[in-house]
Structure 1
Amino acid sequence: MNNLLIVDGMALLFRHFFATSLHKNYMKNSEGVPTNGVQGFVRHVVSAIHDTDAHHVIVCWDMGAKTFRNEIDPNYKAHRPAPQDELIPQFDMVQEISRQLGFHNIGIQNFEADDVIGTLAHTLDGTYDIKVISGDRDLLQILDEHIEVWLIKKGFNIYNKYDKTRFIEEYQIQPKQLIDVKAFMGDTADGYPGVKGIGEKTAFKLIQTYGSVECVLEHIEELPKGQQNKINGAADALKLSHQLAAIHTEVPLKLDEIISEMPYSVDLQSMIDICNQYELKVAKNFIAKL
């Protein structure tokens, strides 16, 4: 099977923006527009194509702050601060450069990039060997026989690599059951509550023992009294968190169009020309050494 690389575009943009903005290194072009996040994105995707020996490349994007999850819970991600001024002009720039570099870009209104990634992986599993690159551990729930998730760890090519076998050995649950774990423990970064007083260790133990939120509730009398009280007192929050934790795998996509446009072949000179056009000096110097 051919290798398909699916990239969480915003995860890379944000990661490399903050890695250099910490030292006020915004890599501004001649017009004074910051390019630091874009340059890191380009370097990372080019490295990932090499590391995964990708024959096909898709970059998935978030399309605005609001998604269907905000209709379920208006507080979902509502606490997150506005992006820095230096990052804002890079949102459009990175997607345009990604397109010009020949990567197939996908972003669907009302859905997060994770949902698009999950739908693509779910639909194309078994047809391609799929590598997903992101910093979001929530994506571990989509692991399957031909789907790996490479969590960004350091730099441009150091990852915490998960396949289905490693996940099961490490956590003693199936990847899909991560949704149930997240329902109990909640997620402060995404702003959903879970069950107050149930942490990660207890959440995993409950799902390892009972298999699902539903089965925990069916056997709640078997739990220590303290856990019973916490869970019974947070029934609505538990249900809500389960809905929010699940990656949607049925996003409406034009699959035939995607399959026809996702093949990729490296053209180093074209990459260098595009880097020159946008004054991406650091990215160009990196590519020129390949």
Structure 2
Amino acid sequence: MDRNNKVLIVDGMALLFRAFFAQSYSARRLEDGTPTNAIYGFFQYLFDAVNEFSPTHVVCCWDMGSKTFRSDLYSNYKANRPEAPEDLIPQFSLVKELVAAFQIPNVGLEGYEADDCIGTVARKFREVGQVYILTGDQDMLQLVNEDVHVIIMKKGRSNYAVYDLEFLREDKGILPFQVIEMKGLTGDTSDNYPGVKGIGEKTALKLLTEYESIDGILSNLEILPKSVKAKIEADLDMLHLSRTLARINIEVPIECQFDDCAWSVPMDEVTTVFEKYRLSTLLKMIS
């Protein structure tokens, strides 16, 4: 592994949605009425991160529709999510066109979430460099290891919490695989799966600190407090399903070559495209 290689994997959906809601006051549109406010914010966030972390390689991962192997496993998965805002919909394809102008690969595969593509790319590229995942999604913390860091975007621009193994232990009190175990126990309200009814984060953390994993907890059921034991036994199937839903698939059959991700801005091409979409003021952030 070449420690001079630093790969920035961008969670495209996380940045675009964050940008849309941060820029919702903006009336930025093209002549034909197409909104570009989310795209403008997306590239602000991207360029901030490039300037902050100085990657040698950049790749961007995307969701490819709402139907995935998780919704096949559990029909209510993410069923509580509202439809994408109308003004955001035309920006989905346009932002990918602009990302491609930078010669940044857009990676996504139907049936999988962006998280799975990110996990797969991170597993592959950690062999050739240090990996940094830019996201707002705490689920990604399960991917942290010696070579993979997760950059959680906090409120405002250029405000990050950068998780490595040490900071994850210090901040959350858990190891990366225990992120999955926690979700198995507590569920995830934003993804709409319940975990074990009546077990919250505090109890889950206590159980994992003591027994390390769900398997460890289950093999010690008899010595757990009666109320906790009863809750787990009542929701055993959902416990196992929730853990499966929480686990990021790091073996998605995607093609993404390391050399294709090299960060080298073709300024002529980018300038032409950004002028076309009235975004050229952003380019001063990278020139």
TM-score bin (small chain):
over 0.9
2:43–2:282 Cα contact (<8 Å) kept:
no
What is the 5 A alignment of 1:69-218?
69-218=70-219
Aligned equivalents of 1:253 and 1:260: distance in 2?
15
Aligned residues: 283
Deviation per residue, 1:32-69 (Å, 9 max, x gap) = 11101111111211221121111100000000011000
* Structure 1 gaps, min length 5: none
More displaced stretch, 153-162 vs 169-178: 169-178
Deviation per residue, 1:247-272 (Å, 9 max, x gap) = 011111224xx223111113455433
TM-score (norm 2): 0.94
Offset at residue 206 of structure 1 (A)? 0.9
SS where residue 92 of structure 2 aligns? Answer: helix
Counterpart check, 1:15 vs 2:18: yes
The residue type paired with residue 150 of structure 2 is V
Counterpart check, 1:286 vs 2:287: no
SS where residue 154 of structure 1 aligns? Answer: coil
Mark the CA change 1:28 to 1:195 in structure 2 (over 3 Å): closer, same or farther. same
Deviation per residue, 1:187-239 (Å, 9 max, x gap) = 01001110111111111111111011111011012211111111111111101
Mark the CA change 1:103 to 1:289 in structure 2 (over 3 Å): closer, same or farther. closer
1:268–1:288 Cα contact (<8 Å) kept:
no
Residue 39 of structure 1 is matched in structure 2 by: 40
Offset at residue 154 of structure 1 (A)? 2.5
The residue type paired with residue 72 of structure 2 is E
CA RMSD of aligned residues (A): 1.4
2:119–2:249 Cα contact (<8 Å) kept:
yes
Aligned equivalents of 1:30 and 1:169: distance in 2?
50
The residue type paired with residue 48 of structure 1 is A
Aligned equivalents of 2:27 and 2:228: distance in 1?
49
Residue 222 of structure 2 is matched in structure 1 by: 221
Counterpart check, 1:266 vs 2:265: yes
Deviation per residue, 1:98-142 (Å, 9 max, x gap) = 111221110111110000111111222242111100010000000
1:13–1:41 Cα contact (<8 Å) kept:
yes
Aligned equivalents of 2:239 and 2:214: distance in 1?
8
SS where residue 150 of structure 1 aligns? Answer: strand
Offset at residue 30 of structure 1 (A)? 1.1
Aligned equivalents of 2:197 and 2:19: distance in 1?
33
Aligned equivalents of 1:48 and 1:267: distance in 2?
19
Mark the CA change 1:203 to 1:42 in structure 2 (over 3 Å): closer, same or farther. same
The residue type paired with residue 237 of structure 2 is D
Aligned equivalents of 2:171 and 2:18: distance in 1?
26
Aligned equivalents of 1:274 and 1:129: distance in 2?
31
Aligned equivalents of 1:49 and 1:157: distance in 2?
10
2:125–2:258 Cα contact (<8 Å) kept:
no
TM-score (norm 1): 0.94
Determine what percentage of the aligned residue pairs are the same residue: 41
The residue type paired with residue 170 of structure 2 is E
1:272–1:288 Cα contact (<8 Å) kept:
no
1:26–1:86 Cα contact (<8 Å) kept:
no
Aligned equivalents of 1:96 and 1:119: distance in 2?
23
